[in-house]
Amino acid sequence: EAVFHCFSGDIVFAQQVLDAGWNISFTGSITYKNSTMDDVVRLVPMDRFMIETDCPYLPPHPHRGQRNSPLFLHLVAEKIAELKGITPKEVAAASYENAMRFFRIPEPEVKPVKSGRKK
């Protein structure tokens, strides 16, 4: 498996990456006014992308020129959601699931915790 980190290729190259069974990762650069990535974002299936900061580089609009931060990652998810016609939560969930699968991270076992408050 492979992931094309900080993907900036054209739609032809994106299709070649997908045909090879690999994944594509998007950064804040997809939010720039001069971005040519809209069709690439639309092309990539929900189970084949991840979102990333590439921190400290490539902050999303309107933070271009500043140091990037994980706090801005929601702007990448919002742009993908806009282009795919889905919600940012769906984008975040897909990216999370794809990253967990790609990096072979087991799902955390979540156990209920008592709050200690009386009802």
Query: What domains are there in the chain, each with its CATH number?
Result: 3-102 (3.20.20.140)
Supply the pLDDT for residue 107.
85
More confident site: 114 or 23: 23
State the pLDDT at residue 110: 83
Determine the average pLDDT of the residues in 11-28: 99
Burial 27-53 (b: 16+ CB within 10 A, else e): bbbbbeeeeebeebbeebeeebbbbbb
* Chain center to CA of 92: 7
pTM of the model: 0.89
Q: Is 90 exceeded by the pLDDT of residue 114?
A: no
Asked if the peptide bond before residue 56 counts as cis, ω within 30 degrees of 0, the response is yes
